[in-house]
A = this chain, B = another copy of it.
């Protein structure tokens, strides 16, 4: 338990003991996503985690480091929603799986989009770290698939530089802004089938060439 280096589970098998580090990350995920980095206080995070505020500086070196641990955790979860590179022969299949994965992930874990939205509105170190460490590989792959689809004449006629963020906005924003949506339309709930249908609709919208 003390050594978290190798992922060996506590030999006692008694996981009634909570992992404070884990609890802190989960609580921080909620607070950072809701209020942004500046708006989230370490005390609020600690209370939500059922811990004491100084434990944040013990288990993580600083509030910044806790924020990075949260982003790390969220991107790792996102990875499990997306098929690894090289899985598909057909770029259309790859595109379809990417859109579906992003829609399903955003619906289940809107925190990552919200966290990015808080940071990506300005030029700052946290945003740069996030982009360089995690976002760039995702974006590069996306752009490569988009270029291949465009070469085949399948893509919507939108600006290449904006294609990536346009797709990102279309797939994730509805879920990231769900409080806004629900304020207008009332409580909303989606089952898997609806999300799959919605994702397929997005694919057809951005790849009109499929119907041609």
Residue ranges of A at the interface with B (Cβ–Cβ < 8 Å): 33-39, 110, 114, 116-118, 120-123, 127-128, 131-132, 135-136, 139, 156-159, 161-162, 164-174, 176-177, 179-181, 183-185, 188, 190, 194, 197-198, 200-202, 204-206, 208, 211
A131 touching B38, Cβ below 8 Å: no
Q: Which of B122, B135, B139, B211 contacts A35 (CB 8 A)?
A: B122
If A135-B184, A158-B202, A170-B169 touch, whether A117 touches B127 (CB-CB below 8 Å) is no
Expressed in whole angstroms, the minimum distance between the Cβ of A45 and any Cβ of chain B is: 14
A165 touching B180, Cβ below 8 Å: yes
Expressed in whole angstroms, the minimum distance between the Cβ of A192 and any Cβ of chain B is: 13
A158 touching B201, Cβ below 8 Å: yes
Expressed in whole angstroms, the minimum distance between the Cβ of A71 and any Cβ of chain B is: 14
Chain B hits for A173, CB < 8 A: 165-166, 168-169, 173
Q: Measured between alpha carbons, how far is A120 from B179 in the docked complex, in Å?
A: 6
Expressed in whole angstroms, the minimum distance between the Cβ of A44 and any Cβ of chain B is: 11
